[in-house]
Structure 1
Amino acid sequence: MVSKTEGDRREPINEQAAANMYTTMRSELNQIYSKFTELEMEVSEHSLVINAIQPLDPSRRCYRMIGGVLVERTIKEVLPAVQRNKEGLEEVIARLNETLEKKKTDIAEFEAKYKIRIRKPGADVKDDSGPKEGSAQGVLVGPASGIE
Structure 2
Amino acid sequence: MASRAEDEQREPINEQAVANKYASMRTELNQIYSKITELEMEVSEHSLVINAIQPLDPTRRCFRMIGGVLVERTIQEVLPAVQRNKEGLEEVIARLNEALEKKKKEISDFEAKYKIRIRKPDGETKDDGGRKEGSAQGVLVGPAGGSE
Q: TM over 0.5, yes or no?
A: yes
TM-score, normalised to structure 2, is: 0.77
Structure 1 position 124, deviation (Å): 4.0
Residue 13 of structure 2 aligns to which amino acid in structure 1? I
Alignment of 1:41-120 (within 5 A): 41-120=41-120
The alignment status of 1:123 with 2:122, answered yes or no, reads yes
RMSD of Structure 2 on Structure 1 (CA): 2.0
Question: Which amino acid is the alignment partner of residue 123 of structure 1?
Answer: D
Residue deviations 1:8-34, cap 9 Å, x none? Answer: 843111111000000000000000000
More helix as a share of residues: 2
Q: Distance in 1 between matches of 2:117 and 2:123?
A: 14
How far has the Cα of 1:7 moved from its partner? 8.2
Distance in 2 separating the partners of 1:82 and 1:37: 19
The runs of 5 or more residues in structure 2 that have no matched partner are: 125-148
5+ residue gaps in structure 1?
126-148
Other-structure match for 2:142: none
C-alpha distance in 2 between matches for 1:14 and 1:108: 19
Amino acid at match of 1:12: P
What does residue 38 of structure 1 align with?
Answer: 38
Structure 1 position 84, deviation (Å): 0.3
Which letter maps to 2:79? Answer: L
**1:119: Cα distance to partner?**
1.5
SS at match of 2:64: strand
Q: Deviations over 1:88-137 (max 9, x none)?
A: 001100100000000000000000111111112x4249xxxxxxxxxxxx
Instruction: Mark the CA change 1:61 to 1:39 in structure 2 (over 3 Å): closer, same or farther.
Output: same
- Which amino acid in the other structure matches residue 84 of structure 1? R
Structure 1 segments, 4+ long, off by >2 Å, are 5-10
Q: Percent same amino acid among aligned pairs? A: 82
> How many Å apart are 1:54 and its aligned residue?
0.3
TM-score by length of 1: 0.77
The alpha-carbon distance between structure 1 residues 98 and 50, as it changes in their structure 2 partners (threshold 3 A), is same
The amino acid of 1:113's aligned partner reads K
Counterpart residue type for residue 58 of structure 1: P
